[in-house]
Amino acid sequence: MRAGRSAGGDSASDSAIGLAKGDASLPAHVAIIMDGNGRWAQQRGLPRIEGHRRGVDTVRMVCETSVRLGIETLTLYCLSSENWKRPQEELDFLMELLQRYLVEERQLIMDQGLRVRSIGRRDRLPAGVVAELDKTIELAAGNQGTRLVMAIDYGGRDELIQAFQKLGREIAAGRLTPDEIDEPRVSASLDTAGFSDPDLLIRTGGEMRVSNFLLWQISYTELWVTQRAWPEFSRQDYLAALRDYAGRNRRFGGI
């Protein structure tokens, strides 16, 4: 696992660091653990919620850059199933912020041609969030650009348990035998059915762990970690991660 420590602003052009739309060396699917919002705010004497607020600007930048470079799928870890342990005030703000994002960014989503999907549980989300999420997904259904996947109340272990339960029900109904369970069938039972596995996983905030994110899907995903917190993660940082990925040799267990 490499640690990225790029610096600088967002003025560099894509071509200046050797990246261009349609470049075969770019990842088709980028997944991001958007970490460090609260710590970033606290280090500056601000309430933790201010870090989440500032992080929305970074989401916008990453979406715009992914569209410009033709990234096929961008998966963002918005809320983990473990995040419910946080203070209620922070959780309430996160839900309000998410609902506001889905409304206020809707026109930008359409302008950029983003396709929107969500993965994770929905039964614990406020009704207003679910309604706005569904509205945005429906509105953007005809778009042809980057697929924006929002992982909300998502946990990799929970996803696997649900997949195994689904397969178990198929066995109980006589439509499937245990010997017929293979990797493609498990993949097709996950929330991410129909998506390619992530090629690159970016984690901001410096922590060296995957935090229950896409556990099945990241078996051979390239990892890139930066000390920068999500609110300060810049376009140049994102481009540096993509360029680093482009220079790697993925062997998938081979020589």
* Cα R_g (the chain), whole angstroms: 19
Known active-site residue 199: no
Q: Phi and psi of 34, rounded to 5°?
A: -90, 85
Per the annotation, the verdict on 249 as an active-site residue is no
Please identify which of the residues 10, 37, 57, 83 carries the catalytic annotation: 83
Instruction: Count other Cβ atoms within 10 Å, centred on residue 99.
Output: 18
Output b/e per residue, 33-42; b: 16+ Cβ within 10 A. Answer: bbbbbbbbbe
The string over 146-157, giving b where at least 16 C-beta atoms fall within 10 Å of a residue's C-beta and e elsewhere, is: bbbbbbbbbbbe
Q: Which is catalytic among the residues 10, 23, 35, 191?
A: 35
Q: Which residues lie across from 151 on neighbouring strands?
A: 77, 119
Q: How far is CA 94 from CA 54, 58, 176, in A?
A: 12, 16, 41
Instruction: Give the number of other CB atoms < 10 A from CB of residue 19.
Output: 19
Enumerate the active-site residues.
35, 83
